[in-house]
Every structure is written in C-alpha cells, then in structure tokens.
C-alpha cells in the first residue's frame, strides 16, 4: 500500500495533556489514530517522546515513509522500528510510532474492505481459530493510588473493579452502568455529595480510609441488589514499593505479609482478579500468590511486570508469574509487536492453578490518559481477549470503547 500523505498533530487527552494524532491518506481512503498516556507507567515501557519534539522528528522521516510501498502491517511497523533504531523507541518515540502504526492498520483495513477487528483477527490468526472467549468488560468503579483526584482518599490500591458474570457483553455493559449509578448513590450517602468526585478513569474518589472500606462499599452494593458481579483489583504495587517494603496505610509489609493480606482479601470478597500485586521486578512473588484457587476463578494479571514486551512475558511465563497479561499498545509501540505478545501468551501454558490446563489469557487495556480513539475495542475482539479494561462506564473517552464493542458484536 502506498501512502500519499500523512498529517501529524497534537491533540489533548482526557487529562488535558498533549498527545499525538496521525492521519494517513492513500488513494481512496484516509484513517486517523491517536495515542493515550499512562500515569503509573512501568519502568520497562517504550519511550514516550514529548509531542512537540515528535512533530520535529516526524518532519524528518515523513518523506522516507511516502517513498515506500508497504505490503502489509508487519512491513510498515518493521520499517518504523528500523528507522528508530533503538531498543525502546527512544529516537522517534513509541507514541509517534504507535500513532502511525494504528492509523496504518485502519487505512489498510479500509483498503481491504474489512472492519478493523476483522483485519486484526486475520493478522493474528491467519484465519485459524484462537481461544473461544466471551469478552468481559472490566469496569474500574473506584479510583485510588495515583489516579485518585480526591486528596482525602487514602486508597493505596489503584483500581477497584467490577466484572459482570455474564457471557453477553450487552448485558454486562448494562449491568456495569446500573451498578456504577447505585455505587455512586451509596457513596454519596456515606460520604456526602461534595466528597464524591470522579478520578482519572471515571471511577469514584471519596475519603476512603483504607482499601477494605472501598471493597466493603462495592460488596454492600453487590449484596443489596444481588448483582451477579465479581470484584477485581489493579493494585499497581510498584507505586507503593520502596526499599524492599510495601507501604499500605502507613504500615510496612514484606512481600510475604502482603501475600497473606491478598489471600485474606481474595477470600473475604471473592475476588476474581488481581493485577500487579507486587512491584515490577518481582516475578517470583507473583508466582507465589497462586494459592490453590481454580484456574478459571483466579486471575493474576501482569501489567508493569510485563509491559506488553515479549522478553518480559517470556520471563513471566517461565517463572509462572501469572495467568493473564495486560495488553497496552503504547507500552511496546506497534500493532505488530503487540499481536506477537498476545500470541505468545495464548501459546504458553500457565500450570499454576488447581486443575489448570489453560494457556495465558490477554486483557486489553486503555490508559489513564485517554483520547476518543476506540482502537482497543477492535483489538480486544480481534485477538479474542478475555477482557477489556476501559475504566468506569462514564465519561466519553471510556464509554466510546465499550460502545464500539456493542457495535462490533452487532456486525458479527
């Protein structure tokens, strides 16, 4: 495919920070893509170039791209990776490379007369059958840690999520929206109207004194209305790890003590998934958290530990550090590399939980600083992910992802 022209511009993300949007033009079509930004970013994520500098870099490479004719996604992505020439994309910036990579995918899909999710599915499977998942939405209904916007909140854990127990995405989405409203009522009653505000990912932020109080609030709403939902956590433990200890509520925990704490919480609140329970180098501590729960009933999700990076994932697989990897496109910087990581996960056995004959799963994720781009919805369907994590069912930049899934499911 020959690209006739490319525009790159700076737009604002959901936190009002500058980010990039690329638009590619071929003979008959054009396609746009923009990139999100994380706050609790992992140390091993690809490099993000300051957007103004990315514009300058882009001016240097634009003609190189326009000169070429690209057969497919892999050729385009590899060309950019080679142009960059560094390990972590520190020359061109993973944000610049990703904006181009995703816009290329959209453009190529249009050229081929396919929906984006179909195009992605073809790239990852060559039309072979992958796993047979029913995609689950993972709603982050209470925001803590670095995503909290309420100074009175003492939540160390970053995300308190609900995961509806239904195979019907439409029903799960409706349930998520109802739950979110009821939880809002519950929290406003408990803390007072003025004390409940929304965090970076549209979850509630209130003057919670500790993690248990947030879990308790969610459990109360589940119980009161008998909702079929499970609880998930993204602890983002690197954020409160220092000098060999985890500091939670002013108290220091060793990794062994933290493990005990998680087991207590998981059993008390029937927790389905825990993401990043330990800091981003602790492959062994992740593995030690499996404690005899059934494979389909306990997910340990690796995010900062693996940063959508094949080498990090290989290590996590070897060490049995989890059974699901969080997939964030901008942690690695191209669609091609992202799909390779998902494929590697699917081909790798976990062997950690009771009766486990499964392979690793993938959970596709947004970032805390988002745009109105809904690429990750097509990615989640295209790779047949276990789940899509796109924040609370509120605020347009989060809702647009869930709504795109509904649209895709109607197309299928």
Judged by the rule CB under 6 A, the positions of this chain that interact with ligand PGA are 38-41, 158, 234, 236, 303, 365, 367-368
> Cβ closer to Zn ion: 23 or 45?
45
Q: Beta partners for 240?
A: none
Catalytic residue among 115, 201, 370, 397: 201
Dist CA 115 CA 379 (whole Å): 11
Q: Does 77 bind Zn ion (CB under 5 A)?
A: no
Sign of CA dihedral 386, 100, 20, 39: positive
The strand pair at 159-164 and 229-234 is best described as antiparallel
Site for Zn ion in 295-314 (CB under 5 A): 303
Minimum separation from the CB atom of position 234 to ligand PGA (A): 5
Catalytic residue among 328, 337, 370, 401: 328
Cα separation values, 354 from 73, 163, 281, 295, Å: 39, 22, 25, 6
> Cβ closer to ligand PGA: 12 or 66?
12
> Cβ closer to Zn ion: 303 or 374?
303
Q: Does 21 bind Zn ion (CB under 5 A)?
A: no
Give the residue from 289, 293, 288, 172 showing the smallest Cα distance to 230. 172
- DSSP H helical segments within 72-161, as ranges? 73-84, 94-111, 116-125
Specify whether 328 is catalytic. Answer: yes
Give the residue from 234, 244, 258, 253 showing the smallest Cα distance to 38. 234
> Cβ closer to ligand PGA: 106 or 147?
147
Minimum separation from the CB atom of position 41 to Zn ion (A): 10
Tokens of 277: 């329970």
Dist CA 167 CA 25 (whole Å): 38
Dist CA 130 CA 385 (whole Å): 10
Dist CA 281 CA 47 (whole Å): 19
Assign 272 to helix, strand or coil. Answer: strand
Minimum separation from the CB atom of position 131 to Zn ion (A): 22
Residue of minimal CB distance from Zn ion?
303
> Cβ closer to ligand PGA: 238 or 352?
238
Dist CA 394 CA 385 (whole Å): 22
Q: Does 280 bind Zn ion (CB under 5 A)?
A: no
What, of Zn ion, ligand PGA, none, does residue 384 touch, CB below 5 to 8 Å by kind? none
What, of ligand PGA, Zn ion, none, does residue 365 touch, CB below 5 to 8 Å by kind? ligand PGA
407 close to 168: Cβ distance less than 8 angstroms: no
Dist CA 36 CA 21 (whole Å): 10
Q: Does 201 bind Zn ion (CB under 5 A)?
A: no
The one among 234, 280, 374, 378 contacting Zn ion by CB under 5 A = 234
What, of Zn ion, ligand PGA, none, does residue 404 touch, CB below 5 to 8 Å by kind? none
310 close to 340: Cβ distance less than 8 angstroms: yes
Minimum separation from the CB atom of position 160 to ligand PGA (A): 13
Minimum separation from the CB atom of position 369 to ligand PGA (A): 7
Which run of H or E residues covers position 184? helix 169-191
Minimum separation from the CB atom of position 292 to ligand PGA (A): 26
What, of ligand PGA, Zn ion, none, does residue 331 touch, CB below 5 to 8 Å by kind? none
> Cβ closer to ligand PGA: 222 or 236?
236
Catalytic residues: 201, 328
Given the rule CB under 5 A, which residues bind Zn ion?
234, 303
């Amino acid at each position: 495919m020959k690209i006739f022209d490319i525009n790159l511009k700076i737009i604002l993300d959901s936190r009002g920070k500058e980010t990039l949007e690329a638009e590619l033009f071929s003979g008959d079509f054009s396609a746009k893509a923009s990139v999100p930004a994380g706050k609790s970013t992992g140390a091993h994520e690809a490099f993000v170039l300051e957007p103004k500098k990315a514009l300058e870099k882009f001016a240097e490479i634009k003609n190189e791209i326009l000169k070429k004719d690209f057969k497919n996604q892999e050729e385009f992505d590899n060309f950019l990776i080679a142009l960059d020439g560094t390990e972590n994309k520190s020359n061109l910036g993973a944000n610049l490379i990703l904006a181009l990579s995703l816009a290329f995918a959209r453009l190529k899909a249009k050229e081929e007369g396919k929906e984006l999710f179909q195009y992605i599915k073809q790239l990852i499977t060559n039309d072979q059958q992958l796993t047979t998942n029913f995609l689950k939405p993972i709603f982050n209904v209470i925001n803590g840690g670095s995503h909290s916007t309420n100074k009175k909140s003492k939540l160390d854990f970053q995300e308190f999520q609900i995961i509806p127990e239904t195979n019907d995405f439409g029903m799960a989405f409706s349930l998520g929206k109802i739950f979110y409203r009821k939880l809002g009522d519950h929290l406003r009653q408990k803390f007072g109207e003025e004390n409940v505000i929304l965090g970076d990912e549209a979850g509630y932020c209130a003057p919670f004194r500790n993690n248990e109080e947030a879990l308790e609030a969610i459990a109360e709403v589940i119980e009161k209305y008998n909702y079929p939902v499970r609880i998930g956590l993204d602890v983002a433990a690197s954020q409160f790890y220092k000098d060999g200890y985890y500091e939670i509520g002013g108290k220091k925990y060793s990794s062994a003590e933290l493990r005990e704490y998680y087991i207590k919480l998981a059993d008390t609140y029937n927790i389905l998934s825990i993401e990043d329970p330990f800091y981003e180098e602790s492959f062994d501590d992740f593995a030690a958290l499996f404690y005899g729960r059934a494979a389909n009933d306990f997910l340990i999700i690796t995010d900062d530990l693996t940063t959508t990076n094949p080498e990090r994932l290989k290590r996590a697989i070897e060490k049995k550090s989890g059974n699901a990897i969080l997939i964030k496109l901008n942690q690695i910087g191209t669609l091609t590399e992202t799909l390779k990581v998902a494929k590697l996960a699917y081909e790798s056995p976990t062997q950690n939980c009771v009766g486990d004959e499964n392979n690793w799963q993938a959970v596709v994720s947004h970032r805390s600083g988002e745009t109105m781009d809904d690429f990750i919805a097509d990615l989640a369907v295209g790779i047949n992910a276990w789940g899509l994590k796109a924040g609370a069912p509120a605020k347009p930049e989060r809702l647009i992802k869930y709504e795109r899934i509904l649209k895709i499911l109607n197309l299928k």
